[in-house]
Amino acid sequence: MSMQAGLTVGVTGARGFIGRHLVATLLERPGTRVRVLSRESTGPDAFPPGANVDAFIGDLGDARSLSGFLDGLDYLINLAHPETSTDAAAEALCDQLVDACCTASVLRFIHVSTATVVGTTPAKRVDETTPCCPASDYERRKWLIEQRLTKGLAGRIDFAVLRPTAVFGPNSRNLRKLTQTIAYGPPWKRHLLRFIHGRRRMHLLPVEDMVRAIMQLLASTHELAGQTYLVACDDHADNHYQAVDALLGEAMGKPLPERSAALPSSLLNLGLRAAGRSQSEPSLHFDESKLRAFGIRSGVDFREAVQRFARGYGDSAGERE
């Protein structure tokens, strides 16, 4: 199976950070028709004039609108996180989505979950075989949805599950707090945070790499066969707190060394555990070798992506003043 020109690709959660970047990339593919599901009108400026995109007003929880959204769809990328009050309601929504996709004869389904479903783990290196022990409500619900969709789709629709780490890029929430501290916080606070976090892995993932993974799975000539893939950039030497702080600071005119004195990682581990953090191991590494073996490689420079975020933050801050 491969992604041929003239196919229609549906995106749920298109208003989110990853969704906006994904839709923009899909629109660059000649002949691809994009359909997005939204609870409200996306507005006239949501997409470029003349863009080959349909904004379908509806809701995952409404069977009638879901059926209309999926009618004639070839591929579906699910970025949405169902907002339900109970686990039972979330499972029912997943079952409804699976059945509607089968009725509509969707050819390929990609579900985007999160790497944090691993929850609390004693492992220092996490891959797709690492047992998941979700601790927070968010992790537990993400894990439940992932399992329910996997169970329902198996043997019915070609699908895959992606588990990204902390996706960042222009206007993302990830990195915003650290950037604000560098830009407006007192110098002592920045130095203190550098000492506390030291070389703790940040698990940052450029949004371009996340979108690249989705696009290449869509276009793959091989069956996805219900496989799960971690999407990460933990192999990069600078994907730790002090190096990221230094990269941001350099781009913002507030340089500091990439390495400085730091709290012993064992003490940081204890502190993070006391604070209730699921992934408390400072050197925890999310291994994306399975995705690389599938043939998907990083397409952007990590250092440049971090500094581009800082420059974009500075530009947007200037616009707000």
- How much is the average pLDDT of 261-290? 94
Q: What is the 3-state secondary structure (H, E, C) of the chain?
A: CCCCCCCEEEEECCCCHHHHHHHHHHHCCCCCEEEEEECCCCCCCCCCCCCCEEEEECCCCCHHHHHHHHCCCCEEEECCCCCCCCHHHHHHHHHHHHHHHHHCCCCEEEEECCHHHHECCCCCEECCCCCCECCCHHHHHHHHHHHHHHHHHCCCCEEEEEEECEEECCCCCCCHHHHHHHHHCCHHHHHHHHHHHCCCECCEEEHHHHHHHHHHHHHCCCCCCCEEEEECCCCCCCCEHHHHHHHHHHHCCCCCCCCCCCCCHHHHHHHHHHCCCCCCCCCCEECCHHHHHCCCCCCCCHHHHHHHHHHHHHHHHHHHC
pLDDT, position 4:
63
Residue 171 above 80 pLDDT? yes
pLDDT, position 90:
92
pLDDT, position 301:
94
Residue 48 or 149, more confident: 149
Residue 52 above 90 pLDDT? no
Comparing 38-42, 186-190, 294-298, 310-314, the range with the smallest average pLDDT is 38-42
- Quickly state the pLDDT bin for 314 (edges 50, 70, 90): low
- How much is the average pLDDT of 154-159? 96
pLDDT, position 7:
87
pLDDT, position 48:
59
pLDDT, position 60:
87
- Quickly state the pLDDT bin for 309 (edges 50, 70, 90): very high
- How much is the average pLDDT of 293-320? 80
Residue 2 above 60 pLDDT? no
Q: How far apart are CA 173 and CA 177, in angstroms?
A: 8
Residue-wise pLDDT tens digits, 292-304: 999 888 788 999 9
Residue 32 or 238, more confident: 238
b/e sequence 233-243, b meaning 16+ C-beta within 10 Å: bbebebbbbbb
Comparing 3-12, 37-46, 120-129, 144-153, the range with the smallest average pLDDT is 37-46
- How much is the average pLDDT of 249-254? 95
Residue 24 above 60 pLDDT? yes
Residue 6 above 80 pLDDT? no
pLDDT, position 306:
97
Q: How far apart are CA 24 and CA 19, in angstroms?
A: 9
Residue 285 above 80 pLDDT? yes
* pLDDT, mean over the chain: 90
How much is the pTM?
0.93
